[in-house]
A and B are shown apart, each in its own frame.
Chain A
């Protein structure tokens, strides 16, 4: 079985306890307008183009089987509509101008990489985190990978948006030691506006995870102009506190690093130029969240 992997990040210190490897699966069932990993939204491999790195050798033109890359008026050009994401051009490009996001990998291939850091997981209480996109968009691969990881006795965690039907999570929980999920916006209408989906299912799933007794962590990305008010964060925090069982609640400041990726995908970036909240304001939000949730609140 093969999955489409965006990235395997080793020595990951922010995706759960201990030293971890995070496997990013491609494809998402939401469309958050601020997403800092826009290359993970679609499940199919996509070409990312960094024209400033191009030396104009033209190797990509002869490599491309679909005519997406060509020469027009003596300059290299690209028709994304024709591109199948096969990656032939990226394989012929050594300057970093063409990069394919998403590579097919078997469970064994992913495991080969994961197992190289086994000793680090064991000594640090770490393990492997499956992240996305949204990992449930590649459910069977995710399940097979989790089974393989567990079979090696390695701890597992999920980073999910909680927007899949509950029975999917229910079926994965026995393979998972920790569930990390976002509650991005508390108001259902605003949630729909900014992410493309409502949050009713997410909130219900959150309660079910809490009731399942599985370890879980809740995080909220703090997005300028979307949810960065003490009231909105407070509302989410109160809900998180009410779930019972969370060790802490985490606010993740807006990540502006997605800008170059939007450019590389020629995609619209609604949050171009946005910056993370100031440290002082983040502290205010943290205090509001702490007060309403009754939990320790971290800012990451």
Chain B
């Protein structure tokens, strides 16, 4: 993207509303280009802009395979990229620069070529069982925990460098760590210096007075925060932009912070000093969200239980509304939440239909986290900053959303083992085998996580997030290997509906109704229902009462599966005194990949079709699609240790924007969380529009959907992913 100059006549009005309109039009154009680029397909919007064709990054390899690893490899390459990174400045924007490359997307890090893990640390010994149970082990996965932005904002880049120097003296044995961190900061500062120069150059030539002034202010803001700590809201937002852009470039990290707490103090100070207007602050928030739709939380309580909601919380929503684009703001909901605020938040869902805000359930999350032995004050600090996950800012390392066990695969292993033996067969016998294999799958997953924690520093240390975490700099240790205060390791199960419906169908159709024998069933599974009579059998199985139907046989299986899984995950923690493993239910967008690992299942699912999404039931779970029935089912399978099993809702806009509809949805949200729900994602999508967009995505360049935990432009999804979203919406939203 080229830096534009003199696009507007000097006399053209250029108020904040007009500026956001221009920025949004440009974003839609950028999205059009990005939708054709492979790295952006099926992923978050990220806020990045397409890279210019004339820049090519040439890495500095430190391994014979041509890639780079460890402190030295990452810091040197990152420093080089930052120092060369194209400078994109939009004179209409409040903030300088946008990011363009993530280092993990470069060919030298290609997962297909096995370059994303340092081959010097082989985990071949773990692979057979990981494959057997369909485990996504998380080995080599990065980011996916939250930093403490207040730490960075209070020190600034210069303060962070001083901190590194001070602790280097205390920990001389960790020189490699400090060298790497210093290079990282210097790299970011190099990018900033070039941005300052470019803003000044553009200002000399820009003819529009408002934009010229804006460019000069940009340069000044960046000079102020090049080393120093931000003092104004604009400086704080620009600092956050730099951290986000650099962190995205480093390894695509997307965790944000408590937006209405961290930025409010700067706004209050500016307001008291007469340096800012409310309108200007809302514009800054819109530009911050344009720069990157990081996961931010608003609402909830502070450590003492005082509400964090304020007028600034409303301003965050207004900023997001002004931008009206992909956005990942979560509203934390507790029983004392201001109802008017909740209504306003729900109204934005219907108004913009962009899948924001999301809602998280304060009480169940806190209660669950406290079961791990943590105090309530700490639980309150664990905020929603990821796809389906919560994190203690700067305090814990988690591998959130990176580790998955494919329970459908475990089920298949159990079923195959039983059918290879002599009868009599029974669901109870499958269950016993399933539990035994699941226990092993959990152990294997834990072994993989422990392996990652031992060697990830030699593969890909967290050089950006270390800077805003409590411990790494002080100890000279990476967050992945001893730097963090807590190791609360995410261990998500997937395919709960696929497995529960399978158990339910077996029990209902074979044992209760005697409609077919175990051997007949197994033959049809292994032939993918292709033999004579197979389709009738498939329909018979698929029409058994499902998970999500409301106290059905499969609902009861789902509860049993979740309780057993949570128990097994907690049990394995006892073997690892330094870590807590936390169970959750979430597939992310792995539904297709994980489905491809598993043959036909007794819920009538054909071989290699997708597993269910997250904790949601399979589409068609109930004739009326009753959301309350589905929600009750999901509430009943919460693992209950502070990680989530989210509810994904697809609502038709016909439900209306009226006061009454908003009130009912708000009441639904409060009830969901009262019943133990942890996270709620909502799409408001017109089923006719989504069908048209599926046929011709380019016709709807600004259509945003919440794919899973993240929102994305519909046109950037591959046909396979579009189908998943469309199917879900047509079944649930009709």
Contact = CB atoms under 8 A, between A and B. Distances in A.
Given A10-B550, A123-B667, A124-B668, A95 B629 contact: no
A18 interface: yes
Contacts, number: 68
B539 A94 contact: yes
A161 to B, nearest CB: 23
B632 A57 contact: no
Given A10-B628, A11-B629, A57-B536, A112 B671 contact: no
Interface in B275-320: none
A124 B667 contact: yes
Given A94-B536, A116-B550, A120-B671, A18 B628 contact: no
A113 interface: yes
B213 interface: no
Q: For chain A, which range describes its interface: under 10, 10 to 19, 20 to 34, or 35 or more residues?
A: 20 to 34
Contact of A13 (B539, B542, B655, B675): B655
A57 B661 CA distance: 45
A116 B628 contact: yes
B626 A11 contact: yes
Interface string B658-677: 00010110011011001100
Contacts of B536: 55, 57, 59, 94-95
Nearest to B624: A9
B535 interface: yes
Contacts of A55: 535-536, 539
A113 B542 CA distance: 22
Contacts of A19: 628, 664, 667-668, 671
A13 B664 contact: yes
Interface in B645-666: 655, 661, 663-664
Nearest to A125: B667
Contact of B632 (A18, A116, A122): A116
Interface string B541-554: 01100000011000
Given A94-B543, A95-B539, A116-B629, A123 B674 contact: yes
Contact of A18 (B543, B551, B626, B664): B664
Contacts of B539: 55, 94-95
B555 to A, nearest CB: 10
B674 A119 contact: yes
A11 B628 contact: yes
A117 interface: yes
A228 interface: no
B216 interface: no
B540 interface: yes
Contacts of A123: 667, 670-671, 674
A119 B674 CA distance: 8
A7 interface: yes
B87 interface: no
Contact of B675 (A112, A119, A126): A119
Contacts of B674: 119, 123
Interface in A39-80: 55, 57, 59
Contacts of B671: 19, 119-120, 122-124
B551 A116 contact: yes
Interface in A257-282: none
Contacts of B663: 124
Contacts of B245: none
B675 A113 contact: no
A55 B529 CA distance: 14
Contact of A10 (B624, B661, B670): B624
Given A116-B632, A117-B632, A9 B626 contact: yes
Contacts of A59: 536
Specify which of A55, A113, A120, A125 lies most central, judged by the most chain B CB atoms within 10 Å of its CB. A120
B668 A120 contact: yes
A112 B540 contact: no
Interface string B612-651: 0000000000001011110010000000000000000000
Nearest to B542: A94
Contacts of B629: 10-11, 116-117
A98 to B, nearest CB: 12
Contacts of B543: 94, 96
Contact of B551 (A7, A57, A94, A112): A112
A94 B620 CA distance: 14
Interface in B522-536: 533, 535-536
Nearest to A14: B655
Interface string A119-141: 11011111000000000000000
B604 to A, nearest CB: 9
B628 A120 contact: yes
A64 to B, nearest CB: 17
A14 B360 CA distance: 27
A10 B626 contact: yes
A298 to B, nearest CB: 9
A104 B69 CA distance: 68
Interface string A94-117: 111000000000000000110011
Contacts of A7: 624
A95 B628 CA distance: 26
A94 B661 contact: no
Interface string A210-244: 00000000000000000000000000000000000
A18 B671 CA distance: 12
A126 B551 CA distance: 21
A205 to B, nearest CB: 27
Given A10-B628, A116-B551, A94 B540 contact: yes
A112 B542 CA distance: 24
Contacts of A116: 550-551, 628-629, 632
A126 B533 CA distance: 46
Interface string A1-40: 0000001011101000011000000000000000000000
Contacts of A122: 671
Nearest to B633: A116
The 10 A-B residue pairs with the shortest CB-CB distance, nearest first, are A124-B667, A10-B626, A94-B539, A94-B540, A11-B628, A11-B626, A123-B671, A11-B627, A117-B628, A94-B543
17 contacts: A11-B624, A11-B626, A11-B627, A11-B629, A11-B668, A13-B661, A13-B664, A94-B536, A95-B536, A113-B550, A116-B628, A116-B629, A116-B632, A119-B675, A124-B663, A124-B671, A125-B667
Given A11-B629, A94-B542, A125-B667, 13 more contacts: A9-B626, A10-B624, A11-B628, A94-B539, A95-B536, A112-B551, A116-B551, A116-B632, A120-B628, A123-B667, A123-B670, A123-B674, A124-B668
